[in-house]
Amino acid sequence: MATIGGSVQKSFVTTQEAARLLGMSLRTVQLWAESGLLACWKTEGGHRRIPLESVERLLAERAGGGPADLKPFRGRAPVQPLSILVVEDEPTLMRLYRMQLARWRMRPEVTTAVNGYEALVRVGRLHPDLLIADLVMPEMDGFDMLRTLRAMPELDAMEIVVVTGVDPEQLSARGGLPQGIPVLPKPIPFAELEAIAERLAAQLGRATGAAQS
C-alpha cells in the first residue's frame, strides 16, 4: 500500500501516477503496460490500473535511483561520451562487447541488458544514443523489444543497430524489423559498429577519443 496524491492508500496506480513515480512519459508507461513490462488490468470503463509492486520492481532496477536520476534525452553537454546500450544474452559475447568497446578511441559509456524487458527499463532510464541489439533472447526477444521502442515517438532520435545470426529468410518469417534499422551479421563486426558510433558521436557533438585524451 502506498500514498498517492495525498492521503489515499492503495495497492495500484493509474498510468498517470505510474508515469510520475517512474519519471517517464505517460505514453512510455502505456506502451510498457501493453508490452507486459508493467503488469496491468483494465477497469470496466477501460482504464488501466497498474499494481504498485510492478512499479516498485522497475524502480528497484535502478539500484536505488529514482526519477531525479534520469538523464534527459536531449540537451546533454557536448563533452559527454556517446552512450551505448548493448542487448545480448550470451555471456561470452557480452564480455567480448565490453572488451572491444573499451578499446574504442572514443571511449563510449556502455550499459548492458540481457533481454528485451531489461533493455526497455534501461532505455527508459538512460535514453542511450545508440542501441546495439541481438534478436534471439529469452523472455522478451529483440523483435518485440524493437517494435515497442519504435512505437515511442520520444525515442525516434535513438539510433538502433541489430547484430544477429538470424538469416534474412528467418527475419522475413518473423515479420521483419521496423523500417530504418540496419542488420549486421554475426560474428560481431566491431569495426563497422565503431564506424557507426564515430559517425553518430560527430553528429550529436559527443566527446571523441581526441577530446578525451
pLDDT band at 9 (very low <50, low <70, confident <90, very high): low
Same domain as 207, residue 112: yes
**Domain membership flag for residue 75:** no
Say if residue 11's pLDDT is above 50: yes
Looking at 45, 69, 93, the residue that finishes a domain is 69
Tally the domains of the chain: 2
Q: What is the pLDDT of residues 103-126, one digit of tens each?
A: 999 899 999 999 999 999 899 888
Cell of 192: 563497422
Same domain as 207, residue 104: yes
Which of 3-7, 49-53, 165-169 shows the highest mean pLDDT?
165-169
Same domain as 180, residue 105: yes
Would you state the pLDDT for residue 41? 83
Same domain as 155, residue 109: yes
Would you state the pLDDT for residue 213? 35
Same domain as 127, residue 152: yes
Name the residue range of residue 143's domain. 83-212
Q: What is the mean pLDDT of residues 6-30?
A: 75
Say if residue 31's pLDDT is above 80: no
Contact 143, 115 (CB under 8 A): no
**Domain membership flag for residue 77:** no
Say if residue 204's pLDDT is above 50: yes
Give the predicted TM-score (pTM) of the model.
0.69
**Domain membership flag for residue 78:** no
Looking at 15, 47, 69, the residue that finishes a domain is 69
Say if residue 2's pLDDT is above 60: no
**Domain membership flag for residue 118:** yes
Same domain as 156, residue 106: yes
H-assigned helices in the chain = 15-22, 26-35, 52-60, 91-102, 116-126, 142-150, 168-173, 190-204, 209-212
Would you state the pLDDT for residue 62? 52
Same domain as 204, residue 122: yes
Q: What is the pLDDT of residues 41-80, one digit of tens each?
A: 888 888 888 888 888 877 776 544 443 343 444 444 445 8
Across the chain, mean pLDDT equals 82
Would you state the pLDDT for residue 147? 92
Same domain as 153, residue 175: yes
Same domain as 99, residue 63: no
Q: What is the CATH number of the domain that holds 39?
A: 1.10.1660.10
Say if residue 181's pLDDT is above 90: yes
Name the amino acid, one letter, at 61: E
Q: What is the CATH number of the domain that holds 97?
A: 3.40.50.2300
Contact 142, 162 (CB under 8 A): yes
Looking at 69, 99, 115, the residue that finishes a domain is 69
Say if residue 21's pLDDT is above 70: yes
